[in-house]
Amino acid sequence: MSAETLLDIFVPPEGMVGHSAALVAMTGAEDFLEDAVQRFTGLRPQQRAELGKVLVYLMLDGHSSSSRQEVFPPGRIPGLHEFQPRSVDRGSLLHAKVALLAFAPSRTGAPVHLRLAVLTANFTYTSARQQLELVWVVDVPLDGTARPEDRADVAAAGAFVETLLARRFHRDEQSLAPRDRKLTARLDVLLWAASSLATNRKPRFIHSLDRPLYDQIRERFRSAIDKPRNFLLCGSGFYEEPSGKARKPAVFGKLEDLGVFTPKPYRVALVEPGKAGAVADWARTGETEGWEVVRPFDALDHNRHLHAKFVYVGYLRDGYASNGWLYLGSGNLSRRGILTHGGTPEGNVETGVVFEVAERFAPEDLERWLFWAQDHAEAVDEDDWAVGQVGDAPDAQPILEAPPILSATIETTPARRLRLLWREDTVGARVSISWTGRDWFDVQRADEVLLKDDENPTALHVRDESDRKWVVPIVDAAGRVGWQPPRFDTYADALAALLDFPIRPAEATDDDDGEESDDRDTNGTGTGEAIEQEKSYALHAAAELVEKVAALQSALPESMLDDWLDHLDRMFRASFPEALITTWRTHRLDVFVHLREPELRSPHLTDKQRARYFEVLDGAARSWGLR
């Protein structure tokens, strides 16, 4: 798997856009996640910030480290929200690796297609470029044509995400009614769509929230394999910790009992000699008891290290493997990886998938997909073996501390105020908050935080009595996160942004867009003449705005109208030049009255869309003081 392969997971199907995504991993790096979100949305950071929607929800292991002292703050990756981790046993690691994604025909439309990816990789470029990884992907259209087994997998993955979120993370809006959840609105839709696919089929997707992966893998292998197989091929990024004795690791004995085998099967374990754990001392003895322990093979010769975790059981003859079953997932072939579960004090939360491999693997397929080259497998010199790091156990670091206030929403009735959404276990804490333009002040759980008319905070700073500080998201009354209206210096810039629909995937604006300007030289012109010129310019601008908006929206297909109404609402909230708006107000030039006329609006509006259209126009007219 290459970097492009890993990023391809996020590319929407033809004719669709990303609606929502739930990502679970042990680690995630900003550079990779930014590129993934950009592939998913088709929008660059500035455009996503202007859109103001959360589309990607991230759940990472909560342990702190030298490179991770906080969750991603709001706005760091526009369009992405990372949940705050709960305090769990320090020895328990969230090691699962899953992506559940929804796609829609438009940015405001409902999902019509889901995708599930089960990975061995984290969301980092280290995984994508420097490691041998595997990924399993299934696409499920929501039109009733999906196969029952695919539906079962997506439903099971959705249930896993929902349970994981409840057990391991703080979800500040959980106590709110579904219609009031703005920060997680799209996640709610994604999980509901996944749950609607439930069937009575046994899913191939497995997890270790409550039960070890090994038990589930063995159960599926033994129920599916009716005739003995003569081939067992295993790979893992890490193996179990050394015991101090040179003996076969206990997990290898478990692997021998996974399937139904012939009396003397061919067993192969792919091991990175520099991080072999308990395998190192065992392999040094040269007595590996029916196992061939060799280095993994990189078919692309990129010197990548094995990080994939898999078990293949099949029939090997003349170099060809057939009649196979495969496990791949996050769980290493170690005690922690496949013999523990998340319900135990030091158990890992892992995910995986077990499925039949109908294809017949030729030698070159085994080299490319399962990293094993039978004819030129490279043995490991005794001096090369090393215990190395153990990668599926947490460092001796605490869980990140979640803020006492998780987020806030702007409410407009009965008065403009901030509604603070507190962590459910925060009682009697001394907390201070601030935002840009407002100094720190103390708040308690029942306090009402009133906003001035000109205050529109986009992120909330939180401080506890120990002087620890966090930044948490603020959701405005329209459901936008960390959103500020775009600001334009000239009418020409504002009009160009309004007419930029559908949104182009470029951030840069042309330098020559400002040919028109409301800055006019009135030197030597009498007051009366200046007023007439100002009025004439305002009339021209109003007519141009009405004409061009009407022309664009009249030509839009029905599929784009919801997106267009959302775009109109954002752009009319933007900062058009105040001097021009003042002139329109002075001379009672209400452009929005004209845009209500049937011949100037889209002929395809439904009753619901027409009501929304009028609501947008009336709201803009009031905010501009035209009514």
What pLDDT, in 10s, does the model give residues 2-18? 557 899 999 999 999 99
Encoded tokens for 260: 């139904």
Task: Give the pLDDT confidence score for residue 524 in this predicted structure.
Answer: 44
Measured distance CA(583)–CA(624) in Å, rounded? 11
The residues, any chain, with a CB within 8 Å of residue 207's CB and separated by 6 or more, are 96, 160, 213, 349, 350, 351, 352
Backbone dihedral angles phi then psi of residue 564, each to the nearest 5 degrees: -65, -40
Alpha helices in 573-606 (DSSP H): 578-586, 591-595
DSSP letters along 85-116, please? EPP--TT--B---EEEEEEESSTTSPP-EEEE
Q: Are strands 229-235 and 261-270 parallel, antiparallel or unpaired?
A: parallel
Q: Using the Cα atoms of residue 351, residue 357, residue 359 and residue 362 in order, give the sign of their dihedral.
A: positive
DSSP state of 304: P
Encoded tokens for 592: 């929005």
DSSP letters along 498-552, please? HH--SPPS-----TTTTSS-S----TT--HHHHHHHHHHHHHHHHHHHHHHHHHH
Q: Collapsing DSSP states into helix, strand and coil, what is residue 136?
A: strand
DSSP state of 290: T
Number of neighbouring beta carbons within 10 Å of residue 112? 17
Q: Collapsing DSSP states into helix, strand and coil, what is residue 129?
A: helix
Residue tagged 């936008």 (tokens):
480
DSSP state of 65: B
Task: Give the pLDDT confidence score for residue 390 in this predicted structure.
Answer: 66
Number of neighbouring beta carbons within 10 Å of residue 102? 27
Measured distance CA(549)–CA(357) in Å, rounded? 55
DSSP state of 414: S
Task: Give the pLDDT confidence score for residue 531 in this predicted structure.
Answer: 56
Amino acid at 209: L
Contact (CB, 8 A) for 338 and 332: yes
Task: Give the pLDDT confidence score for residue 520 in this predicted structure.
Answer: 39
> pLDDT tens-digit profile of 433-486?
999 999 999 999 888 899 998 888 999 999 999 999 999 999 998 889 988 888
Measured distance CA(289)–CA(199) in Å, rounded? 43
CA distances to 71, 187, 475, 528 from 54, in Å: 16, 9, 10, 51
Number of neighbouring beta carbons within 10 Å of residue 388? 15
The residues, any chain, with a CB within 8 Å of residue 99's CB and separated by 6 or more, are 9, 10, 21, 22, 23, 24, 115, 116, 117, 119
Residue tagged 């930029």 (tokens):
500
Q: Using the Cα atoms of residue 192, residue 18, residue 38 and residue 410 in order, give the sign of their dihedral.
A: negative
Contact (CB, 8 A) for 79 and 107: no
Q: Collapsing DSSP states into helix, strand and coil, what is residue 399?
A: strand
Q: Cα–Cα–Cα angle for 115, 116, 118, nearest 5°?
A: 150
Q: Collapsing DSSP states into helix, strand and coil, what is residue 239?
A: strand
Contact (CB, 8 A) for 25 and 108: no
Contact (CB, 8 A) for 52 and 570: yes
Encoded tokens for 36: 């993934």
Q: Collapsing DSSP states into helix, strand and coil, what is residue 400?
A: coil
**Does the bond joining 178 to the residue before it have cis omega, within 30 degrees of 0?**
no
Q: Is 67 exposed, middle or buried (0-12, 13-18, 19+ CB in 10 A)?
A: exposed
Encoded tokens for 580: 């021009």
Measured distance CA(134)–CA(120) in Å, rounded? 6
The residues, any chain, with a CB within 8 Å of residue 584's CB and separated by 6 or more, are 538, 542, 590, 591, 624, 626
Backbone dihedral angles phi then psi of residue 536, each to the nearest 5 degrees: -65, -40
Task: Give the pLDDT confidence score for residue 116 in this predicted structure.
Answer: 98
DSSP state of 259: S
Q: Collapsing DSSP states into helix, strand and coil, what is residue 148?
A: helix
> In terms of Cα–Cα distance, which of 190, 186, 166, 188 is closest to 113?
190
Name the stretches of the chain with pLDDT < 70. 1-3, 389-390, 504-535
Longest dimension (CA), the chain: 106
Task: Give the pLDDT confidence score for residue 505 in this predicted structure.
Answer: 58
Amino acid at 256: E
